[in-house]
Structure 1
Amino acid sequence: MQFSMIFEAQLADPTPERERRLLHDCVEQAVYGEAMGFDRVWAVEHHGLERYAHMSASEVFLTWVAAKTSTIRIGHGVVCMPFNYNHPVRVAERVGMLDALSGGRLDVGGGRGSTRMEMGMCGVNPSDTYPQLVEGLRFLAGAWQKEQVDWHTDLLDVGPAKILPRPVQTPHPPLYMACSKRDTVVMAAELGVGALVMGFAGPEEVKEMYDLYHATVRTRTGEKLVSTEVNDKFVALCPTIVLDDGPKALKIGTRGQRFFAESIAHWYGHGPVPREDTEDDDNIAALAKDKEDLVAKLNEANIPARPQDTGAFNAEHAYGTPQQAIEYVERLAEIGVDEVMCLIQMGTVPQEACMETIRHWGETVIPHFRAG
């Protein structure tokens, strides 16, 4: 099993000065992650989502991290693939450049960039997002298969042309896809790309997603595969804060998760701006109440309350001491998860708590799973 970290670059009380400090803090965490034995860092791509994600140019962030490290892999988790966000040729060029500069350390995930804010900013038609996501992945897989790319479909007309520079990893870096619901888990398996799965709902939901993914892998016909290089890796998110003081870690972690959950509700569900002055609140109770309120609203609208809708309000994660984190990760290991993707940097979590968490994972949690 491998271990990684994901960066949204979340920011409570945003100001330009705090934003700049945040970005450098994220780089510091990523570099420290290499020293502590993490295998990979992932960076999201979002646009205009203040507080929730200030990571709008993840290729620049990942390049900065790559220049300061030598072994840790760097991953787009994920590139917004609809063409008005990123034209497929530009994605391929950036992938080739970053893979070459990093010495072949790049992983690439694709996603829809599906908030109304982002689609409106970039002129993306919602109905185009899935077809262009799949087309973008196919194009990326084929960009270097021949000396020149000559690509002509109903969605994309390119070439004959050369995509330069060429990546170190041939024919392309490993491909992944963001998976927040069952339909996208099935799609990732059919396309032959790794699944980056939100794990907020807990191990039970992760297991259902894992079983669905691998059931689809076993029964797929191969006609939808985007590449000759198949990647059947299953990656699950793991929110975590680990400190010597377990109760303090729980308090900091659940406060950060509340900020994360309320940010999701704000940008994806038109909820209020996330609350920031929550240090003295019972954030576990607040998350439970928010879940109850959401379920009630869905019931009123005759909409089933699915785990992917309510999962962000589940506070039972790897918050506490190193031993408590080990016990949580053991549940993911029993499922068969290939990679645990740690969510540490949340909007209200101080830098010192992030760094101590990375240290505890590196000194205790990761070695526990590598000892065998």
Structure 2
Amino acid sequence: MRFSVFLNARSMAPDEDRKLIHDLTAHATQAADLGFDAIFLPDHHFNGYMPVASDSFMFASYLAAKLPQMHFGFSVVSVPLHHPVRFVERINILDQLTDGKLLVGVGSGTTPEEMIGFGVNYKEAGAISEANLAIAEQLWAKQMEDPAVEIDNGPHKGRVLQRIAPAQYSSGHARLMPVAMKETSARRAAENAWPAFIPAFTPPQIGGTEPMKHVAKYFGVYRQMLDEAGHSQEAIARALDWTTHTYQVVHVAETDEQAREELEIILRSYQDAIEREAAFNARAESDSANKKTDRTPNALTEDWIGTWCLHGSPETVIEHLKPYEELGIGNILCGTTTGPLTEERLRLGNQTLRLLSDKVMPAFKAKVDA
């Protein structure tokens, strides 16, 4: 089973942005040195959530030059916010720069505030996302003399006459990674032999204390579709190798008691940041076209911790993860810098990296290069 790091820290003021970029670069470098398999980046705008994630493709390119052995992923690209031409161009550039070590998580987005900044209505985000992905496939397939690709999708317009440059490195194009929550998304992943993100909750309830029930359900649907899609065993194995379960917060300490105490410190700071952003979210949701229908529980509740957190001593973390390995999850994505990135938060994140590398990762089967 693989282990990857999710760079999901927050900046709380403009004068903190530069330090956060440098601190996350150092954290990613340490993860690479400690044997983690990939660095994943979010796609967020305006709200201080990983501010350099306003263009994660650019930051990934910077990191890829420093860490050429690593895979790079996105968790996840908010597809409606990207013009399909720029979406495909950026993916192709990174596909070339990483020699195909690229995993592009795709979703329709979750934040009305981000949507309105790009001229997208939240209620239309799902349809715009689906159309953008269909247009992207046309752009990847287009040859020089093929008819023009016409783009008319929400705020995204255009007419592509020639081809996308550069060409992709990977066969077809870089691997996309849908979130296997909706049947259409699970089927897209399965039919293309792509990995998928496997969620631990079922909307509208975004939290709970039985995450494995949801993980097993969604993984089972995806795995059945993958098996029925007619792929070779090698293609199925490659897809499962990167099929990912995500923890927003992973925190490891020498004892369970220390880990829980430090986790609550992390979560209090995280929740304060979330509440500060709530006023802007409310302003974005002032009309029906941008109103959310689900709500995330407070991060200090057992429901949130049960769904989004992995914490404890190395021994406890190993025992927690064994059923996920047995189920067939290929990659554990670890949020190790969640919340405002203070010096103390960075120290705790680096502590988690070291303990995962030294004591947790050796307990799991050897990785398979793909």
Is TM (by shorter chain) over 0.5? yes
The number of residues matched between the two structures is: 326
1:240 corresponds to: 250
1:316-344 deviation digits (Å, cap 9, x = unpaired)? 84312222221111121122112111111
1:287 equivalent to 2:284? Answer no
**Contact (CA 8 Å) 1:109, 1:177: kept in 2 or not?**
yes
1:195 corresponds to: 196
**Contact (CA 8 Å) 1:259, 1:346: kept in 2 or not?**
no
1:320 equivalent to 2:320? Answer no
Q: Which runs of 5+ in 2 are unaligned?
A: 201-206, 232-237, 283-297
1:256 corresponds to: 266
**Contact (CA 8 Å) 1:7, 1:345: kept in 2 or not?**
yes
1:73 corresponds to: 71
Deviation for aligned residue 1:221: 10
2:332 corresponds to: 340
| Counterparts in 2 of 1:197 and 1:115: CA distance versus 1, 3 Å | same
1:37 corresponds to: 35
1:143 corresponds to: 139
TM-score, scaled to structure 2: 0.76
| Counterparts in 2 of 1:286 and 1:360: CA distance versus 1, 3 Å | closer
The secondary structure found in structure 1 opposite 2:339 is coil
The secondary structure found in structure 2 opposite 1:134 is helix
Deviation for aligned residue 1:175: 0.6
**Contact (CA 8 Å) 1:2, 1:39: kept in 2 or not?**
yes
| Counterparts in 2 of 1:15 and 1:316: CA distance versus 1, 3 Å | closer
Quote the Cα distance in structure 1 between the aligned partners of 2:271 and 2:188: 25
1:104 corresponds to: 100
Output the amino acid matched with 1:165. Answer: P
Deviation for aligned residue 1:62: 0.8
Deviation for aligned residue 1:80: 1.9
Farther off after superposition, 132-141 or 153-162 = 153-162
Percent of residue pairs identical: 25
The secondary structure found in structure 2 opposite 1:366 is helix
1:298 corresponds to: none
Deviation for aligned residue 1:363: 2.0
**Contact (CA 8 Å) 1:115, 1:268: kept in 2 or not?**
no
1:191-231 deviation digits (Å, cap 9, x = unpaired)? 64432234465323222221232344456799xxxxxxx95
**Contact (CA 8 Å) 2:256, 2:313: kept in 1 or not?**
yes
2:58 corresponds to: 60
| Counterparts in 2 of 1:356 and 1:336: CA distance versus 1, 3 Å | same
2:124 corresponds to: 128
Quote the Cα distance in structure 2 between the aligned partners of 1:258 and 1:158: 49
**Contact (CA 8 Å) 1:141, 1:171: kept in 2 or not?**
no
| Counterparts in 2 of 1:44 and 1:358: CA distance versus 1, 3 Å | same
Deviation for aligned residue 1:144: 3.5
Quote the Cα distance in structure 2 between the aligned partners of 1:66 and 1:165: 17
Deviation for aligned residue 1:243: 2.4
| Counterparts in 2 of 1:164 and 1:207: CA distance versus 1, 3 Å | same
Q: Pairwise CA RMSD of aligned residues?
A: 3.4
The secondary structure found in structure 2 opposite 1:350 is helix
Farther off after superposition, 105-114 or 133-142 = 133-142
**Contact (CA 8 Å) 1:176, 1:231: kept in 2 or not?**
no
The secondary structure found in structure 1 opposite 2:54 is coil
Q: Where do residues 132-281 of structure 1 align in structure 2 (5 Å cutoff)?
A: 132-148=128-144, 150-152=148-150, 155=153, 158-178=159-179, 181-182=181-182, 186=186, 188-189=188-189, 192=192, 193-199=194-200, 201=208, 202-217=211-226, 231=239, 234-238=243-247, 239-257=249-267, 259-260=269-270
The secondary structure found in structure 1 opposite 2:10 is coil
